[in-house]
Amino acid sequence: MVLEPAFMIGEIPVYGDSILAPMDGYSDQPFRGLARQLGSAMSYTEFVSALDVLNRLESILPRLVFEEAERPVAFQIYDDDPARILQAAETLMQYQPDILDVNMGCSSKSVANRGAGAGLLRTPDKVAAIIRQLSDEFDLPVTAKIRLGWDEDSLNYLEIAKSVQDNGGQLVAVHGRTKKQAYKGAASWPPIREIKEALRIPVIGNGDIRTIADKKRMLDETGCDAVMIGRGAVGNPWIFVGKDRPEVSPEEVLDTMLQHLQRMQDFYGPDEGLVLFRKHVTRYISLGPLSKGQRTRLLTCTTAETFTQFLDELIQEPVIFQNSGGF
Q: 3-state SS of the chain?
A: CCCCCCEEECCEEECCCEEECCCCCCCCHHHHHHHHHHCCCCEECCCEEHHHHHHCHHHHHHHHCCCHHHCCEEEEEECCCHHHHHHHHHHHHHHCCCEEEEEECCCCHHHHCCCCHHHHHHCHHHHHHHHHHHHHHCCCCEEEEECCCCCCCCCCHHHHHHHHHHCCCCCEEEECCCCCCCCCCCCCCHHHHHHHHHCCCCEEEECCCCCHHHHHHHHHHHCCCEEEECHHHCCCHHHHHCCCHHHCCHHHHHHHHHHHHHHHHHHHCHHHHHHHHHHHHHHHCCCCCCCHHHHHHHHCCCCHHHHHHHHHHHCCCHHHHCCCCCC
Concerning whether 106 is annotated as a catalytic residue, the answer is yes
Selected catalytic residue, list 50, 85, 89, 106: 106
Residues catalogued as catalytic:
106
